[in-house]
């Protein structure tokens, strides 16, 4: 099993920045692609960004391109989401996810492709 714990959420004014972290523990050698998703009240959980194990493949939702950056440190079993120029519409609970599909080489944009999920961290952007 793999456990994922997110941190770094909080309240920030529009235009500000936050950096989310997701630390993995347990059978971390099983982790391949990782991703960040978000869910606003009354809405579906949607992809924000994803990264392959080598970080050679990245995916960003159109709504965050140019503002958010996903990265990972495999030695620390941690994935990050740097969020700049935040907008009120970025307000949501942000979830980290990990894929354990052996040999997966690409960033995965669909939530059905992930096997493990964190509990989420709240990000609130005030106008």
Given the DSSP bridges, would you call strands 78-83 and 18-26 parallel, antiparallel or unpaired? antiparallel
- Separation CA 69–CA 87 (nearest Å): 15
* Interval 28-84: pLDDT, tens: 877 889 999 999 999 999 999 999 999 999 999 999 999 999 999 999 999 999 999
What is the structure's pLDDT at 105? 87
Q: Has residue 7 got a pLDDT over 90?
A: yes
Concatenated DSSP letters for 14-31? TT--EEEEEEEEESGGG-
Q: What confidence tens digit (pLDDT) does each residue in 92-124 have?
A: 999 999 998 887 889 999 999 999 999 999 999
pLDDT at 37: 98
pLDDT value at position 104? 80
């Amino acid at each position: 099993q793999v456990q994922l714990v997110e941190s770094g959420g909080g309240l920030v004014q529009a235009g500000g920045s936050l950096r989310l972290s997701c630390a993995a523990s347990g059978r971390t050698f099983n982790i391949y692609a990782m991703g960040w998703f978000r869910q606003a009240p009354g809405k579906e959980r949607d992809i924000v960004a994803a990264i392959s194990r080598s970080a050679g493949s990245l995916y960003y939702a159109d709504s965050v391109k140019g503002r958010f950056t996903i990265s990972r440190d495999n030695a620390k079993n941690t994935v990050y989401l740097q969020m700049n120029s935040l907008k009120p519409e970025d307000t949501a609970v942000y979830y980290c996810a990990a894929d354990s599909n052996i040999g997966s080489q690409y960033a995965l944009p669909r939530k059905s492709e992930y096997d493990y999920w964190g509990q989420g961290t709240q990000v609130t952007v005030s106008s």
